[in-house]
Chains A and B, each alone.
Chain A
């Protein structure tokens, strides 16, 4: 199945603009007695860049894992384009149009940069084992489309000269960009980014901010966990503050910066 066909049939979810794109309703999760998230409500519209901030242990990464299906909530609902997704497995969540870049990127170390990005196209594949193995017509066509899309994505992220490199040959910043390319190549509606700026040099931070702005201008929605407050205030359209699993504030960056409760618990003077 080619990309266009995939986009048109993605998991039977309604298409066109649905507002909000993602909605969390009274979402809670506990690890044994430890409550990691408690009754979190959140609405994210298409094209927003929402940053979740908060101290370590606030439940930020847990929230991302709930959205992408790696964790199941103890209670509450997650709606994507109006459909409940909290009980479906992670690989099916990806097929709905939600992809993620992990904090530690998690590239496959034994295949090249291009091959890593091509694995991001897996949601399009319809060719079976035998047609793939014997490279029958439609399997060949499918693979050619994936290769072209992956090269296009790598080119857009400035990695054209690194396509044949192995992940271990890349700098940390380049690995993050490859992870981002892999998350974007399937043309998701929502991208989850877990500390994408972690460990980057200043010029890489600037480059990533430009990329994220360009993405959201193109209609992609981004939900991001990040510690670098200055960057968050610069790129985010909305900031959500978590503290010990509870949402203590939500709003535009400037409002959050001036919120007394947020300043007292997280931002400081």
Chain B
């Protein structure tokens, strides 16, 4: 295989990996705080992209359009928590996950009604041109995707590690009973987690749309990729989710470079299955508990 092909696969894999990591981070935030597997995370991404495209089409400048999309999608996240998850909060984890699937289908149907079935796209942010490097091509939007993921990770580390609210969210995630007895409201923290996840999803959706395009039906496949990233890396740690996302993206891209395009999903999923079998709790399992 030529060097330029390998380089191209690596660059594509890095970009794909960042997309999957961004998806997984949304799932991680919600799962970490509420222990709910939010299977509607991909819909937040899809909505973020669709709303940004529409606002841009109405002449709203790109970055204000993204901010508005983030606000609207965050509100959608709040609705999902307040009206669907919170009333059913005593139900089992699988029931709550199914409820989020129901919400995902509702969003998908409404999006089809409002926007139709056409795929939509945006131009690269600020018209960033493609870069040619040793025979490989870096699409103009790819550095934005990588930058967005880095910013997301940095933002989450800052928020969870350095702010009072972030510490309260972690306390609520790790020791929900203890958190209640020091005045932390699990309902408020759950709402906050869903809003943060929806906002992350919206930013990811707007950023990846110039690369991947968006349509009413992209949400569920995106959720599945995010889930794979989170499961492979380890759902309990942000580092695990990022590692899982990058591994998934690189595996997909390298297998696409080596095999006919129809096989690349199968190859990637087979390799990930092996990882699952070898380390069922993910590559980076949860931090040890105190009593361990």
Contact = CB atoms under 8 A, between A and B. Distances in A.
B182 A143 contact: no
Contacts of A108: 167, 170-171, 174-175, 178
B89 to A, nearest CB: 12
Nearest to B166: A132
B177 interface: yes
B177 A123 contact: no
A132 B184 CA distance: 16
Contacts of A129: 165, 192, 195
Given A108-B171, A133-B159, A146-B164, A123 B182 contact: yes
B218 interface: no
Interface stretch (A52-60, A89-97, A239-247): A89-97
Contacts of B279: none
B183 interface: yes
Given A91-B183, A119-B167, A109 B178 contact: no
Q: Is the interface of B mostly helix, strand, loop or mixed?
A: helix
Interface string A86-123: 00011111110001101011111111000110111111
Contact of B183 (A118, A122, A133, A143): A122
B168 interface: yes
Contact of A118 (B164, B174, B179): B164
A24 to B, nearest CB: 18
A55 B16 CA distance: 60
Given A106-B177, A107-B175, A186 B165 contact: no
A226 interface: no
Q: For the side of the interface on A, what is the size category?
A: 35 or more
Contact of B290 (A121, A123, A132, A167): A167
Nearest to B195: A129
Interface string A174-208: 01000000110010000000000000000000000
A125 B174 contact: no
Contacts of B184: 91, 119, 122
A27 to B, nearest CB: 19
Contacts of B289: 109, 168
Size bracket of the B interface = 20 to 34
A48 interface: no
Interface in B135-173: 159, 161, 163-168, 170-171
B186 A91 contact: yes
Nearest to A167: B290
B178 A106 contact: yes
**Most B C-beta atoms less than 10 A away, residue of A68, A69, A90, A142:** A90
Contacts of B180: 69-70, 89-91, 94
Given A99-B182, A119-B184, A123-B182, A110 B170 contact: yes
B179 A119 contact: yes
Contact of A122 (B164, B192, B290): B164
B44 to A, nearest CB: 17
Q: Which of B167, B195, B287 has the most CB of A within 10 A?
A: B167
A267 interface: no
10 contacts: A68-B181, A95-B183, A102-B181, A106-B177, A108-B167, A121-B164, A122-B171, A122-B184, A129-B195, A168-B289
Query: 9 smallest A-B Cβ distances: which pairs?
Result: A106-B178, A94-B183, A123-B183, A90-B180, A106-B175, A108-B174, A100-B181, A108-B171, A119-B171
